[in-house]
Amino acid sequence: MKRLLLLLTLLFITSHLFAQQDLDDKYYFTEALFKHLSDYNKKADAAFRANKYEKAQELFEEFTSEQLAGSYMNNFKFKNLRNREVELYDFKKPTFLITYASWCIPAKGEIPAINKLAKEYSDKVDFVILFWDKRETVKKHSDQFNSQISVVYVDESENNGGYVVKQLKHSLGLPTCFLLSEDKRITSIRRSVFSGPAIDRETAYQKNYIALETSISKNLIPEYDEVYADNVSVD
């Protein structure tokens, strides 16, 4: 009996060590930023100064797809509207995470598109809206989102969450959308679809819905049904 207990103990310790080793071997988002963000910023700043906005967008897509995608998002901490601490890893499903602030105007039609997608995919995907703002302000803006969406925030004025702010806000700006697998590996990073002032709200909504639905389906849901995507069209 003692030998059996000793064997089981050794097996437990060994499995724990291997699990910890696997965790330590993960390549995290913050590591990728440390290695590559400075070089990206230099190139992007040069493109913006030269008014080469398409080039700047190409650089963003290249940077996020080649240097950040595939890394694991850190277990950042936020607060919910009940003022309780929430960790990113508390969300167990594949996660759609997008960052906002009260002074940042969402793309036309984007919020209705997110609300519809949250209703359709809430059984498979966790939808999280992260605000960089005060709790009182976030509570006012939270009414825009339906009950399938978790609204969290980081208030910089409290001098808390500086590490989160530096990594998630100041690195890529906002709004930025992170598509995370169940184990919080970054599958894609994207920017909002901004339509010109001449585009009506319904068309803008349709464009955002199609872009977001395609991203969610391809990056977060393995059993993506392409027939369903083909049936979504702009009126």
Query: What pLDDT was estimated at residue 20?
Result: 41
User: What's the confidence (pLDDT) of residue 197?
Assistant: 75
pTM of the predicted structure, to 2 decimals: 0.82
Give the pLDDT of the chain (235 residues) as one tens digit per residue: 555 444 444 444 445 434 444 456 899 999 999 999 999 999 999 999 999 999 999 999 999 999 999 999 999 999 999 999 999 999 999 999 999 998 887 888 999 999 999 999 999 999 999 999 999 999 999 999 999 999 999 998 887 788 899 999 999 988 999 999 999 999 999 988 877 777 898 999 999 999 999 999 999 987 554 434 444 444 4
How confident is the model at residue 3, as a pLDDT?
Answer: 53
pLDDT given for residue 1 in this prediction: 56
Whether residue 177 contacts residue 192, with contact meaning beta carbons closer than 8 Å, is answered with yes
Among the listed residues 191, 111, 179, the one whose alpha carbon sits nearest the alpha carbon of residue 151:
111
Q: Count the neighbouring beta carbons within 10 Å of the beta carbon of residue 113.
A: 22
| Predicted local confidence at residue 104, as pLDDT | 84
For 16, the token pair is: 């724990």
The C-alpha angle with vertex 218 and arms to 96 and 35, in degrees rounded to 5, equals 65
Burial class (CB in 10 A: 0-12, 13-18, 19+), 89: middle
What CA–CA distance (Å, rounded) separates 53 from 137? Answer: 32
Q: Give dist(CA 213, CA 199) in Å, integer.
A: 20
pLDDT of residue 24: 62
| CA-to-CA dists, residue 3 to 7, 8, 64, 149, angstroms | 6, 9, 52, 51
Distance CA 77, CA 199 (A): 38
For 2, 11, 13, 15, the CA distances from 5, given in Å and listed in that order, are 5, 10, 12, 15
